[in-house]
Amino acid sequence: METLKDLRRAAKLTQASVAAALNVRQQAVASWESGTNRPALEKLQPLASLYGCTLEAVVDAIVGKEAPAHANSIPPA
């Protein structure tokens, strides 16, 4: 699964250029890529446009970073 960092690198962009285009700090982009924080909803479509991918690819890259605590548990019968 591709990460936000993979998508950005495939688009040949730097964190600084993404930050400038989205009017956020470079540290915000870094935190999205590390999974520390998530981009605001209104930033998702602009990210997809910048990265030249679908909105679904951006969402998958974000959600793929998460592993809910219950994801690996087996529900009781």
Residue 34 lies in a domain: yes
Residue 9: strand, helix, or coil: helix
Neighbours of 49 (CB within 10 A): 13
* Residue 69 placed within a domain: no
Among 20, 23, 45, 18, smallest CA distance to 33 is for 18
Angle (nearest 5°) at CA 40 between 47 and 58: 35
Q: Is residue 33 part of a domain?
A: yes
Within a domain: residue 26? Answer: yes
Q: Which domain holds residue 16?
A: 4-63
pLDDT reading at 3 higher than 60? yes
Residue 46 lies in a domain: yes
Q: Is residue 47 part of a domain?
A: yes
In this structure, is residue 71 part of a structural domain? no
What is the total count of domains within the chain?
1
Cβ count near 33 (within 10 Å): 21
The string of pLDDT tens digits covering residues 57-67 is 999 999 985 55
4-49: per-residue pLDDT in tens? 999 999 999 999 999 999 999 999 999 999 999 999 999 999 999 9
Q: If residue 33 lies in a helix (H) or strand (E), which one and from where to where?
A: helix 26-34
